Structure 1
Amino acid sequence: MFAVETIAKTDDRRVVPICHRVFRRATDEDRQQFKAASVALAKGLADGTLALPQDPIEADGWSDNRLVAYGYRRWIELFNDRQLLHLALLMKEVSALEEPVRTSIAMAFSDHLTTNCMMASYAHGWRRLTPLFSVRAFRHIQRPVELNPWVERTGRGSFPNTVRKLGQAAAYARAPKEPTVDGEFVPVALRVPKQHGTIHLGSARSLKFLANASVDVVMTDPPYFDNIAYSELAQFFTPWLSALGVINSLPRDQVTTESLVARKHQPQSVQHYISGLGEAFAEIERVLRPKGIVAFSYRHTEAPAWLALAEAIVATGLHITRVLPMPGEVGMGLHGQGERGLWDAIFMLRRGRRATDPELYVSEQDITAAEAAVAGWRERYGTLSIPFNAIDAVALKRAFLVGQALAKGKKGGVKNRITLKQALR
């Protein structure tokens, strides 16, 4: 604990301007308060008035083993004693709430965890706390930031602010608004559905709760090969939500088996990704109506990821009708820094294709068309505030080639054809 940020007091509870915020060294009183929190936590755990999840970090088989390499063995080790005291007290109160309030507040509690842990850092450029998963990985933070968890308005990720976010979402649902081209928001009519929606928790590889040819539109966001192992990152929340009774912990082997994360240097892992994604697309084809449409986004900087996507789709009766670019990041924050791709490829698919040739290939004309399409996109979008850079150009060219290889009507015998694997390189 090397410094404490203090903010000037205001009588009207307005957000304090950054220019009025100062830093001071931690005092003996600050250190005594921290020690007192440690004593209170130990006493509460010893006499049973407080409880914390004790789940171990089971990282065997993970694509990213940094967390255990840092020396962490239990999930609560990612928090200091004062944070754990706060979370234990808060969890005790949340557990006593009646449904459906308890589950709703537990969502705010879950959001609060990423800003109230020792993997929260300080973003000097924005002068504010940067939560865990601002970069989608477990990063080692040399100087963690601890916030006041109860401050309102000012304070990114404090508990009152996470609750307020839920309130804002509920208010929008009751009175929706849409943006206009001049940056304003205008009210829109509230649409009341004729029947209630249904949320189903399960694997996309088994949509047995849906009848054949019963779905008009499928919008999905498949795993991006080895980019983000969501199943690994999500384990951070599991012990807490399980202790609150909101979720049931899945068996670890089930999580590992059903998670689609490819490790490009492990052929068996890549094949698991391709076959699993292929099963999901096959189920999508089954439930899609004859004139239905599928839309999904995809992004990666390396050729094997695009080939794996194509190989997952080729065994189905789906064909790609359109490939379009769309910003995948807002151009701000840690994910927007440096030379990295910020644009996704959006794929549109329909039913009606049966491969007459199992090999994926493109023609020289397809490659020329891909280069022309990317040049056009770059000319059109290259001056936007979200950069359309050389990395995006390469990725979107590969996306276009995947679209060409999986277009309807591809037949064998085309002269000068090139395997998709070669073209993607």
Structure 2
Amino acid sequence: MVLKNLHRLSKLFQPVSVVPKNAEVKRHDITSKSQRLMLELGIIKQASPGCFHFLPLGVKSLEKLTSLVDEEMKKIGGQKIIFPTLTNAKLWEKTGRLETVSSELFQIKDRHDQSYILSPTHEEAASNLLASLSPISYKQLPLKLYQITSKYRDEMKPRFGLMRGKQFLMKDMYSFDTDIKTAKHTYDEICKSYDKIFRKIGIDFIKVVGSSGHMGGELSHEYQYKADVGEDKILTCTKCNYSANTEISGEEKCPNCGNNSVEIHLGIEVGHTFLLGEKYSKPLNATFLSKNGKLEVLQMGSYGLGLSRIMAAAIEVMSSEQEIRWPDILSPFSVIILPPKSGSKEEIHIQNSGLVESLYEKIETICNLKDNVLIDDRTNFTIGRRLLEAKRNGYPFIVALGKKILENPFLYEITNLKTNETIFLSENDLLNYLRNHLSSSSCDPDNK
């Protein structure tokens, strides 16, 4: 059996490197294990300080995360668009943000001496889009517009790899409602959708009350992963479970119940939501036609997920110093198959049988694993060496065709990185094992 387009490790562009030998990245610049592991394992490659090439494994993981986000946004009526990367600086002048955050902005001028901003976020652009239309009717509301694009921030000191860079991939959504009450309802609905996204990723997260900062507005929440390299301090009350960024509540006592018994953790912010009200829509004249036939100002919300940061933060939280670990749903490949070493008894035993390709095809048919199986066809190396490399790369399930394929009936060796167990199974049992142990969202055709 010969199948086309099999994923073979020998053909994968994965420039593995040892960071200390890389002249472009000095050891003291590697400030987190996720950054080091992704560089060493050929998932990303630094282009310049704060800017990275996403290589095939990194892109594949990001595509899975993007697909997860798209699915959840569709369920709540989100409509995907793309705003221009360049935003006219005059819009930021009107909202007052050009002056307050100018040091973080990449600003350029075109040949006509017009000033533009390389957008870190698109509140002004979204409001201006609505303002440029004939007044929309209240019947068209709420509107939930989102995009997934690269954003830019002139970081003074880029660090932690993808977690604080000059360019990053972000999902940003902008909601528009008739009044603050319905805007709050939309805000809660989108927050619940974010809750579902983080639950499906499967890493414990904390939703905390956050600071509105330069964004403004009357309500703000952050989604945080606990991590030693986190730059935020999170207060959690041991009595009422209230959580907040210490930027708004200090570190001494709970602002909700006054309890002095609080815990402080470091966190990585991976998502942020804002109920903005008229902060941007009013100065940019974004209005709608009400039931009474009057023009009224749109009430706005803004919601961000740092997709490239989520990927890096997940690796930071889950990995050891030497081996990368992925959430099942974000792993570039879910299963890797290790054929026998070339010239071995096992290789001769299955020669010309098409066994590896047949197994590949059968695994692809279960649990939506199409395009999620990889063959390590570097059979000049021993299975033991390839097994160690597969573990270091964090593929959740490693299937090896070792000595037990000489037995009758022959058995496959499967290693489950999550449970750290290795067992021997027949083909049918192997397929059932994968079906039972893969993340439920992978096996659920409706992705509920």
Same fold (TM over 0.5): no
Q: TM-score, normalised by structure 2?
A: 0.23
Bigger proportion of residues as strand? 2
Q: TM-score, normalised by structure 1?
A: 0.23
Bigger proportion of residues as helix? 1
